Structure 1
Amino acid sequence: MQADHFLKVGAHLGEGPCWIDGALWFVDIKGNTVFKVDPETHALTRWATPEHVGWVLPSAHDGLIVGLQSGPHRLDPESGTLTQIAQVHTDLPDNRLNDAAIDAEGRVWFGSMDNLEESETGVVFVLDKGDVREAGIPATTITNGPAISPCGSWLYHVDTIGRRVYRHAIQADGTAGDGELFLDFTTPDRDDWGHPDGAICDAEGGIWQGFFGGAAARRFAPDGTLTHEVRFPVSNVTKITLGGPDGRTAYATTARQGLGEAELAAQPQAGDLFTFRVDVPAAPPRSANT
């Protein structure tokens, strides 16, 4: 399969696409911007943020939850007002938030990373009714995902630098159990796949994985078998979401980050949004309990 170009954005580091109430939301992490796209008119609305912003998710309460560098905030789309919910990494100014997902209880699992991409200071946190705690997953340089199974039992944690994905049982107390290796992209047959980036689960528990530097998104069955590969005309595919009226339209964010002048000239659509159709629809939507 080949992805189709959907909308010109030119994001430095497009990420965190999420289908919310009939619209596509996403962020440009390094551009400090939250975006909303009308899928019919392609009209683009944007909100500037004072810090790097890793993700945007729906809330069961007022507004949206966004992951700013200093911690999760509530965003009021009407006024653009941001209200801090909690602080993280007050002792690590080079860390920022990177990716997030909502579990069956409405808890937001979100990861951090070293913005310099050097130190293993990336931690997975859980936001639960306004309180934040560590999830109990070993630290990495860049946390990605997490993706959460539609049954709510499993969390898939992506170690981007290590090029591996681990599966953790979600415990009753809202922490993660010990991880087991689920996907390994360090093998010789996957050397040219790039680095695993954002991940989501569909309605059957399949995992859609974006590949930074790999010009592709791939779907894996719950047993780890590769089922689909979608190729892109740009190198850095960061994450997809599933939406549309039937939940079978995929939207993908991409990035210009790390590309030199010659690569950017050869990839004029880097940082834009792309789309393709899928067989298995999105998992039922969830909203944060905060």
Structure 2
Amino acid sequence: MKPMLDDTIKIIISSQCQLGEGAYFAKAHNCLFWVDILGQRLFRLHCQSMRVSQFTMPEPICWVMETEQAELVAGFAKGVYKLNSEDFSRELLYAIDHEPSQNRLNDGKTSRQGFGFFGSMDSQEQTNSGKLYRFGHGQAPTAVDHDYTISNGPAVSKNGQFLYSTDSDKQTIYRFTLN
């Protein structure tokens, strides 16, 4: 006998994002973070209390990650910053200033090896000027792929061997071997 599934969709968090992305569970903080890129907001769901908080950012925030030292790192439109986990003030770690002026960062994830991967994209979604970057373990962000219009969804395979990266405009998923 098959269990009956409830096909009702329920809203459990109404965050009203203009462009909500990048859900990330920060284990050491026991929180789920996500961003509203166009609304320039960071959201935090504290998993124990189920309380949602939002924080206004000074520019578009594109992703959040947690380091092995439980520090929060975030990609903003033009750079990678360390975030203070109390007030979410920021400190510049890496400026991404060799991108075309119309580009901004977009979407990022971490690998099991502790590297961060994130993309950049043309804010107007017109040209393939975006890149895929890798950083971590004291290394500054380095472009590892290019020619993205809308770099999206870096994701690591369940076995940790592959990185998947998407160009949403081209409707193409790329697979890279992580080694």
TM-score with structure 1 setting the length: 0.55
The number of residues matched between the two structures is: 170
What is the root-mean-square deviation in Å for CA atoms of aligned residues?
1.7
Tell me how far 1:62 sits from its aligned partner: 5.0
Structure with greater contact order relative to length (CA < 8 Å, sep ≥ 6)? 1
Contact 2:129 2:146 in 1 (8 A): no
Look up the match of 1:92: 100
Match of 2:142 among 128, 133, 144: 133
CA distance in 1, matches of 2:119, 2:153: 8
Look up the match of 2:150: 142
CA distance in 2, matches of 1:99, 1:91: 16
Q: What's the secondary structure of 2:109's corresponding residue?
A: strand
Q: What's the secondary structure of 1:138's corresponding residue?
A: strand
| Bigger Cα displacement from structure 2, 27-36 vs 125-134 | 125-134
CA distance in 2, matches of 1:126, 1:2: 39
Tell me how far 1:157 sits from its aligned partner: 1.0
Q: What's the secondary structure of 1:111's corresponding residue?
A: strand
Tell me how far 1:117 sits from its aligned partner: 0.6
Look up the match of 2:15: 9
Match of 1:80 among 82, 88, 107: 88
Q: Note closer, same or farther for the CA distance 1:91–1:54 as it changes in structure 2 (3 Å cut).
A: closer
Look up the match of 1:284: none
Q: Any unmatched runs of 5+ in structure 1? A: 173-290
Look up the match of 1:236: none
1:117 maps to 2:125: yes
Look up the match of 2:170: 162
1:132 corresponds to which letter in structure 2? Answer: P
Higher share of residues assigned strand: 2
1:129 corresponds to which letter in structure 2? Answer: H
1:81 corresponds to which letter in structure 2? Answer: S
Q: Note closer, same or farther for the CA distance 1:62–1:169 as it changes in structure 2 (3 Å cut).
A: closer
Contact 1:7 1:42 in 2 (8 A): no
Q: Note closer, same or farther for the CA distance 1:25–1:52 as it changes in structure 2 (3 Å cut).
A: same
Look up the match of 2:56: 48
CA distance in 2, matches of 1:31, 1:14: 9
Match of 1:35 among 24, 43, 47: 43
Q: What's the secondary structure of 2:129's corresponding residue?
A: coil
Q: What's the secondary structure of 2:42's corresponding residue?
A: strand
Contact 2:26 2:32 in 1 (8 A): yes
Contact 2:151 2:168 in 1 (8 A): yes
1:20 corresponds to which letter in structure 2? Answer: A
CA distance in 2, matches of 1:2, 1:66: 34
CA distance in 1, matches of 2:99, 2:175: 29
CA displacement, residues 251-278 of structure 1 (integer Å, 9 cap, x when unaligned): xxxxxxxxxxxxxxxxxxxxxxxxxxxx
Tell me how far 1:20 sits from its aligned partner: 1.7
CA displacement, residues 7-45 of structure 1 (integer Å, 9 cap, x when unaligned): 121111111111123321111101111110134544222
Q: What's the secondary structure of 1:118's corresponding residue?
A: coil
Q: What's the secondary structure of 1:85's corresponding residue?
A: strand
CA distance in 1, matches of 2:76, 2:44: 17
Look up the match of 2:3: none
Q: Any unmatched runs of 5+ in structure 2? A: 1-6
